[in-house]
A and B are shown apart, each in its own frame.
Chain A
Amino acid sequence: MELSTLAALNAERQARRAAVLVSDLAGGTQRLVKQVAIAADPLAELLERQLRSGKSGMVEADGTSYFLTVQAPHPRVVVTGAVHISQAMAPMARALDLDLVVIDPRTAFATPERFPEVTLLAEWPEEAIGRIGLDAYTAFVALTHDPKIDDPGLVAALRSDCFYVGALGSRKTHGRRLERLAEAGFDATTTDRIHAPIGLDIGAVSPAEIALAILAEIVQTLRGPRRKPA
């Protein structure tokens, strides 16, 4: 592989853009096809199918075998609330290779001391999300318990194609939240996307256990269950 190709592949990943590396293993040639260029590529159909599957693999076209290295944007978790649960979530997300972004306009909560090595945005969700954007490779999690902060984040998430949307709170809290979102014009099909109560039901009690339950639910949504029921 040419160093320039490797660098371009890394740059696309960094920028959260999909790309496919096409390698003719027998001929030894290689080219990188960026997302915007896929439609115009001679192998467009194969590349699109492989990208949709999210997996790398061998394909055949006109008697030539190609290995397609699929690079989809890196999964990311965007959280409103620089709270105890998101603090516990930070090292777990890192181990799971999930990028974590924490948004909280309350500067007493959003301090680098409480969130070392985390992308921390001490802003209102409208501003922060407007800038970073939410895409199909992003999970959104609302953790503040404060509608002033959580609701604008949820509104942005429901308008995006985030693969996961979750909100902390009791059934009663969530009921009131659903009323507010209905008033804001969201129908039930849309608000049904919100995982609430949030997280897999493992009986989580401590902030770390709740963080684990939420991240497990995010991974489950991302990957899908694999074992057949017994």
Chain B
Amino acid sequence: MISTETDILRAAEDWARGGRGVAIATVVETWGSAPRPVGSHLVIDGEGNFLGSVSGGCVEGAVVAEAADVIADGKARMLEFGVADETAWQVGLSCGGRIKVYVEKVN
């Protein structure tokens, strides 16, 4: 089981060296009772495989979907999730917190 930040960034490097498209998502800000601390990572490849966690499962699906675009066009994106978000009913945080997630491609 890969569960640690250590293994996640190592995996990102290995994946990129292996020729896979890779994006790194990082929790850069949190408000309220966010499930994962600032600095947590999710690593995603071009086929939607992912390791790590930015929210304990609440918004990973949405981040993985955005990461596909980041890998495709190389442009970094800032994503925001929370109860104030209009898509909250879809991919909100059940705990009521808000998080900002930065998604960037490994070049």
What residues of A have a CB within 8 angstroms of the CB of B104 in the complex? 1
Complex contacts, A67 vs chain B, CB 8 Å: 26, 28, 102
Given A25-B78, A28-B76, A55-B37, A1 contacting B106 (CB threshold 8 A): yes
Q: Is B6 an interface residue (CB 8 A)?
A: yes
A10–B17 alpha-carbon span in the complex (Å)? 13
Could you tell me the distance between the alpha carbons of A55 and B28 in the complex, rounded to whole angstroms? 11
Interface centre among B6, B24, B37 (most CB of A within 10 A): B6
Which residues on the A side are within 8 Å of B106 (C-beta)?
1-3, 6
Is B3's CB under 8 angstroms from A10's CB? Answer: no
Q: Are A3 and B26 in contact (CB under 8 A)?
A: no
Which residues of chain B in 1-44 are interfacial with respect to chain A, using CB atoms and an 8 Å cutoff? 3-6, 9-10, 12-13, 16-17, 24, 26, 28-29, 37-39
Contact B39 A25 (CB under 8 A): no
Measured in the bound complex, the distance between the Cα atoms of B37 and A57 in whole Å is 10
Could you tell me if B6 and A1 are in contact, using CB atoms closer than 8 angstroms? Answer: no
* A25-B78, A67-B26, A67-B102 given; A3·B38 CB < 8 A: no
Enumerate chain B residues within 8 angstroms of A80, measured Cβ to Cβ. Answer: none
A143 to B4, CA, bound (A): 27
Query: A6's closest neighbor in chain B, by CB?
Result: B13
Q: Is A222 an interface residue (CB 8 A)?
A: no
**Chain B positions within 8 Å of A195 at CB level:** none
Shortest distance between the CB of B26 and any CB in chain A (Å)? 7
Q: A1-B106, A3-B107, A6-B106 given as contacts; is B12 within 8 A of A69 (CB)?
A: no
Q: Are B39 and A6 in contact (CB-based, < 8 A)?
A: no
Cβ B6 vs Cβ A74 within 8 A: yes
B9 touches A57 (CB 8 A): no
Closest residue to B41 on the A side, CB-wise? A69
State which residues 1-46 of A face B: CB under 8 Å: 1-3, 6-7, 9-10, 13, 23, 25, 28
Contacts of A95 in B (CB 8 A): 3
- The distance in angstroms between the C-alpha atoms of A186 and B39, with both chains bound, is 40
The interface residues of chain A lying within 8 Å CB-to-CB of B6 are: 13, 74, 97
Interface residues of A (CB under 8 A from B): 1-3, 6-7, 9-10, 13, 23, 25, 28, 55-58, 67, 69-70, 74, 95, 97
Interface CB pairs A-B, < 8 A, 19: A1-B104, A1-B105, A2-B107, A3-B13, A3-B17, A3-B107, A6-B12, A6-B16, A10-B10, A13-B9, A23-B102, A25-B76, A25-B102, A55-B38, A56-B38, A57-B39, A69-B26, A97-B4, A97-B6
